[in-house]
Structures are given as C-alpha cells and as structure tokens.
A and B are shown apart, each in its own frame.
Chain A
Amino acid sequence: MVAIRDLALEYQQVAGGASGPIRVPAVSDISCQLRTAAISAIVGPSGCGKTSIIQAIAGLLVPASGDISIDGIPVRGVRPRTAVIFQDFGLLPWRTVEGNAELPLVLAGTRRARVRRAERRRRVDPVLDELGLSAFRGFYPAGLSGGMKQRVAIARALVSEPDVLLMDEPFSSLDALTREAAQEFLLQVRRSRPLTILLVTHSIEEAVYLAETIFVMQGRNPGTIRKRFDICENRLESRFAIGTGDVQDFRSSPRYLELCGSIRAALRESGGTDDGAAE
C-alpha cells in the first residue's frame, strides 16, 4: 500500500529581479492511501500539483513536510520497483524500442554488477512480445505512432518488474480512439500483474472508467485533495480477478454518468477550471 501523510511539496521558481529563486508551495495537507493492486486516480485542474505528487512518490521530489511510504517503508529517493510513465512518455529518441525497454536493466547494471545482454534479452523479449512490440524492436521512437510510443513506455516500466506504477497524464497526447485502446490495454496489463497504479489525469471520464478510487484536487499553489470517490464497480474483486473474466464496459451504465457528473460538480465547486496555469 502507498500511504501519504500530511504531505507538503514545494518547487523553486526563478523570480524577476535580483531576488533569486523563490520557493512556491505546490501541494499541502495531502493525506491518502492507495490500495495495493488497485488503480487510483487523481483528477484536478492544471497547476493543482498532481504531477508534483507523482514526482514525490517516485522519489524525484523531496517533501517539504509529511511523508510517503510504500508497504510501510518510507520513500527516500528513487525506488527500484516504482515505475513512472510520463505525459510525453519520456522515451529517449536515440534508443530503439528495445534500447528504451531495456534501459532499467542497463542502469541497474551500472549500479551493481553488469546485466549481460543475454539476461537483458531474456527479460525484455517476453514484455515486447506481450505488448506487441517485437516487430518494432529496432525502430526509433520518431518512427512510431503515439499509441506505440505509449506501449514502449509501458514496456520500459514493466521490464523493471514494478509493484507500483505511476502514470502522469499517460493518454493525454493520444487521439480519442487510440486513447480508448490504450485504456483497455492498461486494464489488460493490470489483469496480468498485481500492480498498484496511480493515474493522474485531466479526464474525468478516464478516471471513472479506470480507477476504483478517485481523489479530486482543488486550489493552486498549494493544491489540496478536496474529495474522494470510491467506485465499487471498478474494485479489484469485481473487475480484476487475475487471469479470469472479461472487463465489463462500465461506460454505458447510468452509474458511470452519475459519477462523472458528481466529480465534475466537485471540480466546479472548487473553482477547478483550467485557466491555463502551468502544472
């Protein structure tokens, strides 16, 4: 379980004049728990600090106060079994599909004993096969569609055999149909592994379709969690019996529309419309 307690985050911003960088609060009073092997989502307007929370859980941002723990162990820096998929996928343009997918193993090799190429292939090949990327292993990201790039980003995340997967607006740059396919793909990946997933998104519909717990954020500098929604239809037990059952399309049900409406209302009440402020 990922537990966040009284979290406050700050970032440095360069101010005009000679005053130098100033510390700007990103989020404050964030307390929540992400259930093990469940998909949780954070929705909120731009600038409310969603990405900062992802960075803090990933160990890329040190909290100003409060703490984060995963399975009871405090997060102090990057954790090998936490994978992150960034909004623009974060693929290295100069590495092929295979090169990007094996990067966690290459980096692990530089920290400890070198991971041999045969061992890397043994771990990367099944993931590329599973994600339908084997035929594209020699391609560079520039030659791939948005959906394929996203699969490569997921492949890279899965190669490190994570137990926590953090996704920052992972589908935002995809067109509507590719986005739906990518959502199904994420569910499929989740069905095959007991991953704890945190999804940050602007899309209420996406969050309601995928997550069993949704945290609605409000405010800006600092942002806070305003409300929590639990969606029993998406719960682990009913949806993700690993290795069995189909994913029911929840999107056509009245309950889905009702939940979307409630979350939209919560966002509106908190003044959560996007005025274009930077995240």
Chain B
Amino acid sequence: MKHGACAGLRKLRGILIALVMIAALWETASRLLARPFLPGPGLAIGALVRLVTSGTLAVHAGASLGRVLWALAISFLPAAALGLAAGRSRRADAFVSPFIYIVHPLPKVAFLPIIMLVFGLGELSKIVLVGIIIFSQILVSARDSARRVPRHLIDSVRSLGATRLDLAIRVVVPATLPDLLTSLRVSLGTAIAVLFLAETFATETGLGYLIVDAWSRIDYPEMYAAIMALSLLGLALFIVVDGAERLLCPWRLERS
C-alpha cells in the first residue's frame, strides 16, 4: 500500500509539472500573439472559477460525465464478453472477426447522422455514438488479449480439473483484465473527443455545448475554461481507471 501511495504521489507530481509547463507555453503564446482568441491561462482560470461558483459547470460536466458513464455501462461488458469468446473459441471468432475487420477501421463518428436518424436527437443518440466507439475498441482488445493467454496457464489449470467456465473465470478474465483496462483508457480518450462533437448538436447541456456556446458569444476565456473542464474530465476518468487497475490487478503493482 505504501509502495502504491508513493507511485501515486510520483504520478501526481508528474501531472502538476506537465500542467505548469502547458500553462507557461500557453502564457508565452498568448503574449506573443496578443489576440483576443487566445487569452492567457489566468483569464481562462478566472472564467473557470466563475463557472464553478455559479454552478454552471456542474450542470454541463455532469451531463457529459453521465453520457460517458451510460455509454460505458452499455458497451464495456458486452464488448469484453464477445471479444473474450472470440479470442478463445473458433466458432465465436468466425462470427466476430469479419465484423471487426469491416466495422473497426471505419471512423465511427461518420455514423453520427445515421445514429441521430435512428435514435433521435436526444440523449440516446449521443450515448449510442460514444458507446459504439468504446464497444469497438474493447471488442478488438479483448479478442486479441484472449488469444495471447499463455497456453501453459490454460494447461496448468486444466490439469487441476477445471471446466471451461472455470478457465474463463479464473484464467482468461484475469489474464486479459490489464489489457482491457489499457484499452478502456484509450477508448475513453477517443470517446471524450467524440462527445464534444456529439454535444454540439441538438442539446443545451454538456461541455461540448458549453465550448461552442461560449465561442458563439465570443467569450473566449469561458470557451477555454470549458475546454479545460473537458480535459479535466478526461484526466479524472483516467485516474479512476488507474484506481480500478490498482484495485483489480494488484499483482501488477508487485511486478513494478
């Protein structure tokens, strides 16, 4: 636990150093350009504080976070289950892999108009779009990771009389969990980028909406404040996934 706390502090220090460097670069660029569309970080932070104190940020960040979490809830488990089945069963793979080869390389954001036509302009279409992105990423990762489960581990547990279900629960799932969490981190990054786009249509909530709204009002400090809030949302989700990894994969801490 002590080792984990030290690693956490090191990570926090790294994040703080990166934030200071970004702020310094931002301030320098702002002073050099001296244009209204690039205010300094001080002005943007001031706008962020105003958004926080007025409660506006909580409404929009809450809406964005809710969409990501719903998308995660509907996509992660089915994608992981299907991917793991495809990675360990030829029959399942024969069904899943062609689907992956055709659909995975497509930019899912291109489906936005179709998704809106099918699921309407409301919340569901935004959740479905983000969910499809997470689903696709987790599906591929789960399948590939399940294929890489070492043969000797399977044989070793089989020799103890394990059933197929035992192998799935006690070998395949734990062996692939670190890869699934890594993939979740990557897909959350993409999901937040897409969320911005989805929230620029037919909604009045969400950080994407807040950014575009501030832009249309030529309130650049608030626009940057909303961008910062979107980044912080991404950072918070990363930290949550890191925490989940520490909790669910403690054997990896011992290795490090």
The interface of chain A, by Cβ under 8 A from chain B, is: 55, 58-60, 78, 80, 82-84, 86-94, 103-104, 106-108, 110-111, 139-143, 156, 160
A94 contact from B165, B166, B249, Cβ within 8 A: B249
- Whether A78 contacts B170 in the complex (CB less than 8 A), given A94-B249, A94-B251, comes out as no
Closest to B167 in A: A107
A140 with B161: CB separation less than 8 A: no
- Whether A60 contacts B158 in the complex (CB less than 8 A), given A90-B153, A92-B153, A94-B174, comes out as yes
Q: Render B167-191 as a binary contact track against A, CB cut-off 8 A, 1 for contact.
A: 0001100110100000000000000
Q: Render B184-222 as a binary contact track against A, CB cut-off 8 A, 1 for contact.
A: 000000000000000000000000000000000000000
Residues of B within 8 A of A82 (CB): 159
Residues of A within 8 A of B156 (CB): 84, 86, 89-92
A86 contact from B152, B165, B249, B250, Cβ within 8 A: B152
B54: Cβ under 8 A from any A Cβ:
no
Taking A86-B152, A90-B153, A143-B254 as known contacts, 8 extra A-B pairs with beta carbons closer than 8 A to each other, sorted by chain A number, are A78-B158, A83-B159, A89-B156, A90-B155, A90-B156, A94-B251, A107-B160, A160-B160
Q: How far is the CA of A104 from the CA of B251 in the complex (A)?
A: 20
A104 with B161: CB separation less than 8 A: yes
B35: Cβ under 8 A from any A Cβ:
no
A86 with B155: CB separation less than 8 A: yes
- Whether A84 contacts B166 in the complex (CB less than 8 A), given A92-B153, A92-B171, A94-B174, comes out as no
Residues of A within 8 A of B171 (CB): 92
Within the complex, the shortest CB–CB distance from A124 to chain B, in Å, comes to 14
A92 with B157: CB separation less than 8 A: yes
Closest to B251 in A: A140
Residues of chain B from 125 to 160 with CB closer than 8 A to chain A in the complex: 152-153, 155-160
B166 with A107: CB separation less than 8 A: yes
Residues of B within 8 A of A58 (CB): 159
B163: Cβ under 8 A from any A Cβ:
yes
Q: How far is the CA of A54 from the CA of B174 in the complex (A)?
A: 27
A139 with B152: CB separation less than 8 A: no
B255 contact from A80, A84, A142, A156, Cβ within 8 A: A142
B240: Cβ under 8 A from any A Cβ:
no
Within the complex, the shortest CB–CB distance from B93 to chain A, in Å, comes to 14
A104 with B152: CB separation less than 8 A: no
A87 with B254: CB separation less than 8 A: no
Closest to B174 in A: A94
How many residues of chain B have a CB within 8 Å of chain A?
23
Q: How far is the CA of A139 from the CA of B153 in the complex (A)?
A: 19
- Whether A92 contacts B159 in the complex (CB less than 8 A), given A86-B152, A87-B152, A139-B254, comes out as no
Closest to B165 in A: A110
Within the complex, the shortest CB–CB distance from A90 to chain B, in Å, comes to 3
Residues of B within 8 A of A89 (CB): 156
B16: Cβ under 8 A from any A Cβ:
no
Q: How far is the CA of A78 from the CA of B158 in the complex (A)?
A: 8
Residues of A within 8 A of B157 (CB): 90, 92, 103, 107
B25: Cβ under 8 A from any A Cβ:
no
Closest to A110 in B: B166
Residues of B within 8 A of A160 (CB): 160
Residues of A within 8 A of B175 (CB): 94
CB<8 Å pairs between A and B, sample of 6: A82-B159, A90-B155, A92-B174, A94-B175, A104-B160, A140-B251
Q: How far is the CA of A107 from the CA of B160 in the complex (A)?
A: 7
A108 with B161: CB separation less than 8 A: yes
Listed residue (A59, A86, A90) with the most chain B CB atoms within 10 angstroms of its CB:
A90
The 8 tightest CB contacts between A and B, nearest first, are: A90-B156, A84-B159, A140-B251, A94-B174, A142-B255, A140-B254, A143-B254, A94-B251
B22: Cβ under 8 A from any A Cβ:
no
B244: Cβ under 8 A from any A Cβ:
no
B162: Cβ under 8 A from any A Cβ:
yes
Q: How far is the CA of A108 from the CA of B161 in the complex (A)?
A: 7
Q: How far is the CA of A140 from the CA of B165 in the complex (A)?
A: 24
Closest to B162 in A: A107
Residues of B within 8 A of A87 (CB): 152
Q: How far is the CA of A143 from the CA of B251 in the complex (A)?
A: 9
A88 with B158: CB separation less than 8 A: no
Within the complex, the shortest CB–CB distance from B47 to chain A, in Å, comes to 46
Within the complex, the shortest CB–CB distance from A238 to chain B, in Å, comes to 32
Q: How far is the CA of A86 from the CA of B161 in the complex (A)?
A: 15
Q: How far is the CA of A110 from the CA of B168 in the complex (A)?
A: 13
Q: How far is the CA of A58 from the CA of B177 in the complex (A)?
A: 29
B254 with A142: CB separation less than 8 A: yes
Within the complex, the shortest CB–CB distance from A215 to chain B, in Å, comes to 21
Within the complex, the shortest CB–CB distance from A33 to chain B, in Å, comes to 22
- Whether A110 contacts B159 in the complex (CB less than 8 A), given A90-B153, A94-B251, A143-B254, comes out as no
- Whether A78 contacts B174 in the complex (CB less than 8 A), given A93-B251, A140-B251, comes out as no
